[in-house]
Structure 1
Amino acid sequence: MVAQKGRDLLLKISDGGAFVTVAGLRTKRLAFNAETVDITDAESAGRWRELLGGAGIQRASLSGGGIFKDQASDATVRSAFFAGSILSWQILIPDFGSVTGPFQMTSLEYSGEYNGEVRFELALESAGSLSFGAL
């Protein structure tokens, strides 16, 4: 994968049918994590740690910040947070693919300066199985 424009990494939310782009995100970060399950015991060769493959919990988290492009996108994000809803989200990674699945918004922050626009930051945590689709 060659260098890509950061603005092409898109975050979308399902509006009950199609996926629509969420606001004007300027920064985005997607992370995948997997816990390990240590099965080391007294008979482990050379007392080296042993792990049980495929047994740990996997998760994805996404964070981003930017500006709301309209009242509708602001209302959609705000409603999802205050309802504690688990909604279907999609992350498009240019020249790589898309990650789709249920996420819950765990953080929503607003900030601004007297001579600038209102900005927001949000954080999402996966809430179920995710699927990957190649582009």
Structure 2
Amino acid sequence: MTAQAGRDLLLKLDQTSSGSFETVAGLRTRRVALNAATVDITNADSAGRWRELLAQAGSRSASLAGSGLFRDQASDAAVRQIFFDGTICPWQVIIPDFGTLEGAFQVTALEYAGRHDGEVTYEIALESAGPITFTAL
């Protein structure tokens, strides 16, 4: 696999839950984390007292974080309203040459910053709120 430009990773929102996703922001930095909690079932009879885990028992989650510029005022307003309402909406993350992650997420952090001689930037964090699907490219 060859290196890919970070700008090609897209964050898209389906604000109306209609199945129509739109790119909401220009992300300059991004992070996608997939997590799985474990359930330890180690006991006195475990071979060599090595830890044993129960398969398919822990909870799974996904978190997304990024910073950059909003695409336009409408995108900024939509994400800001979702944050203040605490709404859980469908989101997509397009990872070039890898696939698409899709599922319900809640905006858990939204920060704004700006310099006196530059543009307003933001940082956003999303946490999964249900099952996440992966579609390979």
**What is the TM-score with the length of structure 2 in the denominator?**
0.95
Offset at residue 23 of structure 1 (A): 1.5
Q: Does the CA contact (< 8 Å) of 2:15 and 2:89 recur in 1?
A: no
Instruction: Determine the structure 1 residue equivalent to 2:90.
Output: 88
Alignment-mate amino acid for residue 51 of structure 2: R
Question: What are the Cα deviations for residues 46-87 of structure 1, in whole angstroms up to 9, with x where unaligned?
Answer: 111111111111000000001122110101110110010000
| 1:22-61 Cα distance to aligned partner (Å, 9 max, x none) | 1211111101010110000111111111111111110000
Where does structure 1 lack aligned partners over 5 or more consecutive residues? Answer: none
Q: Which residue of 2 aligns with 1:34?
A: 36
| C-alpha distance in structure 1 between counterparts of 2:57 and 2:97, whole Å | 30
**Any idea what SS the aligned residue of 1:130 has?**
strand
Q: Distance in 2 between matches of 1:37 and 1:10?
A: 33
User: Which amino acid is the alignment partner of residue 46 of structure 1?
Assistant: G
For the residues of structure 1 that align with 2:3 and 2:113, how far apart are their CA atoms?
Answer: 31
Alignment size in residue pairs: 135
2:26 equivalent in structure 1: 24
In structure 2, runs of 5+ residues without a counterpart are: none
1:11 counterpart = 2:11: yes
**Residue identity matched to 1:90:** Q
- Secondary structure of the corresponding residue to residue 12 of structure 1: strand
Runs of 4 or more consecutive aligned structure 1 residues displaced over 6 Å after TM superposition:
none
Q: Does 1:70 align with 2:85?
A: no
Identity of aligned residues (%): 63
Q: 1:124 aligns with which of 116, 123, 126?
A: 126
Q: TM-score normalised to the size of structure 1?
A: 0.97
